[in-house]
């Protein structure tokens, strides 16, 4: 995951109509300056006589995508955010910022880093918000911030695997929720900023678990949540999962008195549906029809979906291969770009499909749990570090884009 704080804008899609209450219909999204590695790859492809591929990579980087903000502080952070937001506004496009700096982010794994204390994080959010000011923007707050919570006990009573030694077991989880609430409060206070929290994806947390976490993090004060960031799950499944999360939040907060607080009762992709068989997901739809019924979309949390790399769906290790950890989320081979950014989602709760993860940037130095430092799924070579440009993956994404690049 990377930082991009200088940009030029490319206008695509429809008209711009900034207002609070989620990303509005017809929004035109902002395109940051391409990764230097992409620029270099395009030049190399042109020099090698591969003009077609060069045009495809250029089309990829000219598609609107998010601006990742992973550090900085104080006036310099405010200045860089302000420059980005004003550049987007001048082009009548909406910038999508990703705030990615919470303490113990990614449980100190591939994308380790972040602020060093609650106070430092709150100061960072203050500087971030000051940079946006009155300009229109959308902010996705802390990918994995609710999927991975240090020293957390889940709704089902199980202990979170993330237990960093330098985090206080007594306060780490409550600190995480306090920081996310702080971010929601200060970003939603801005006049034209839409704010979304981490909703994980349909192959991760169950509906009730993530709904409970979202409520604790302040989703009812935000515009909603985001799904599939930096992952490869299909849009079809995310739409279903997102609808369930929204209805589960309603069930546990605004339903009957007997149901309030009981997110664990919510149907999910795991029950009564079967996660591996999409044809069974109608069983969970039926549960929500019976237990929640029809609720006006303006009374439910909305969501956005990252479609940057899910055109071919998720990856599975080859049959018969027994790597210790397949790391299906980490630079899986032969994936493709997904649906282009748009507010035309066909779902009244889905505000937009976005390209959040910068396509072409590495997920990390994946070794499938072998401890070798090389990736057996990619011929035994070392993958680039998280956030670095990955030319091989970039070519796969454009060649296998679904829908195709033109």
| DSSP class per residue in 34-102 | PPHHHHHHHHHHHHTT-HHHHHHHHHHHTS---EEE----HHHHHHHHHHHHHHHHHTT-B-EEEE---
**What's the pTM value of the predicted model, to 2 decimals?**
0.94
Residue ranges per structural domain of the chain: 36-364+392-399
Q: Residue 223 is encoded by which pair of tokens?
A: 């515009």
At 393, is the secondary structure helix, strand, or coil? Answer: helix
CB 73 within 8 A of CB 44: no
36-364+392-399 folds as TIM Barrel (3.20.20)
Q: Residue 220 is encoded by which pair of tokens?
A: 């009812």
CA dihedral 307, 308, 311, 314 (to 10 degrees): -80
CB 354 within 8 A of CB 305: yes
One digit per residue, the tens of pLDDT, for the chain of length 406 reads 333 333 333 333 333 333 357 999 999 999 999 999 999 999 999 999 999 999 999 999 999 999 999 999 999 999 999 999 999 999 999 999 999 999 999 897 766 789 999 999 999 999 999 999 999 999 999 999 999 999 999 998 999 999 999 999 999 999 999 999 999 999 999 999 999 999 999 999 999 999 999 999 999 999 999 999 999 999 999 999 999 999 999 999 998 889 999 999 999 999 999 999 999 999 999 999 999 999 999 999 999 999 999 999 999 999 999 999 999 999 999 999 999 999 999 999 999 999 999 999 999 999 999 999 999 999 999 999 999 999 999 999 999 999 999 7
CA 118 to chain centre: 22
- As a whole number of angstroms, the distance between CA 384 and CA 221 comes to 38
């Amino acid at each position: 995951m990377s930082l991009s704080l200088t940009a030029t804008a490319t206008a695509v899609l429809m008209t711009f109509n900034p207002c609070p209450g989620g990303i509005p219909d017809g929004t035109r999204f902002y395109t940051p300056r391409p990764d230097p590695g992409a620029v270099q790859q395009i030049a190399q492809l042109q020099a090698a006589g591969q003009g077609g591929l060069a045009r495809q990579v250029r089309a990829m980087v000219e598609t609107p995508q998010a601006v990742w903000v992973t550090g900085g502080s104080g006036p310099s952070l405010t200045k860089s955010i302000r420059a980005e937001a004003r550049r987007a506004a001048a082009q009548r496009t909406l910038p999508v910022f990703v705030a990615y700096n919470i303490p113990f982010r990614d449980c100190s794994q591939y994308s380790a880093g972040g602020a060093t204390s609650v106070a430092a994080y709150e100061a960072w959010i203050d500087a971030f918000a000051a940079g946006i000011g009155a300009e229109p923007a959308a902010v996705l707050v802390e990918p994995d911030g609710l999927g991975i919570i240090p020293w957390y006990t889940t709704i089902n009573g199980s202990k979170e695997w993330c237990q960093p030694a330098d985090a206080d077991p007594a306060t780490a989880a409550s600190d995480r929720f306090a920081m996310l609430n702080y971010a929601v409060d200060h970003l939603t206070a801005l006049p034209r900023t839409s704010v979304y929290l981490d909703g994980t994806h349909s192959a991760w947390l169950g509906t009730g678990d993530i709904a409970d976490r979202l409520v604790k993090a302040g989703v009812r004060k935000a515009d909603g949540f985001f799904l599939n960031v930096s992952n490869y799950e299909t849009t079809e499944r995310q739409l279903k999962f997102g609808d369930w999360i929204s209805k589960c939040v309603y069930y546990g907060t605004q339903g009957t008195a007997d149901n309030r607080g009981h997110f664990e009762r919510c149907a999910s992709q795991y029950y009564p549906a079967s996660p591996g068989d999409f044809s069974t997901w109608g069983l969970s739809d039926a549960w929500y029809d019976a237990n929640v019924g029809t609720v006006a979309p303006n009374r439910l949390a909305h969501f956005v979906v990252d479609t940057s790399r899910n055109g071919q769906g998720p990856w599975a290790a080859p049959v018969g291969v027994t790597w210790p950890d397949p790391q299906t989320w980490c630079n899986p081979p032969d994936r493709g770009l997904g649906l282009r950014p748009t507010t035309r989602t066909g779902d009244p709760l889905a505000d937009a499909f976005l390209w959040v993860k910068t396509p072409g940037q590495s997920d990390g130095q994946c070794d499938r749990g072998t401890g070798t430092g090389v990736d057996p799924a990619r011929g035994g070579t070392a993958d680039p570090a998280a956030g670095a440009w990955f030319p091989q993956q970039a070519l796969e994404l454009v060649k296998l884009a679904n829908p195709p690049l033109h």
